[in-house]
């Protein structure tokens, strides 16, 4: 799949990606789009709110509260 996993001597997991790998770009797109559709407070479906001085991804319920 273009990815390989290995453990460093300190035990931390490293995931290697091959540059220019299409699967890598798809993963980034997936993560980016997911972060824009999930409320960062409760994890429910939401959307990016840009109508305030901040930009956060919030569901309808959390977008109302400040």
> What's the min distance (Å) between Cβ of 52 and Zn ion?
15
Judged by beta carbon, residue 2 or residue 45, the one nearer Zn ion is 45
- Site for Zn ion, rule CB under 5 A: 39, 41-42, 59, 62
**CA gap 29, 31 in Å, rounded:** 5
CB of 29 to Zn ion, least distance (A): 23
Please check whether residue 13 is in contact with residue 4, taking contact to mean a CB–CB distance below 8 angstroms. Answer: no
Which is nearer to Zn ion, 3 or 44 (by Cβ)? Answer: 44
Cβ count within 10 A of residue 59: 19
């Amino acid at each position: 799949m273009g990815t390989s996993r290995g453990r460093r001597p300190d035990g931390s997991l490293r995931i290697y990606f091959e540059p220019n790998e299409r699967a890598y770009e798809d993963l980034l797109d997936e993560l980016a789009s997911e972060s824009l559709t999930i409320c960062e407070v409760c994890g429910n479906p939401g959307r990016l709110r840009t109508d305030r001085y901040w930009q956060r991804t919030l569901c309808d319920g959390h977008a109302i509260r400040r």
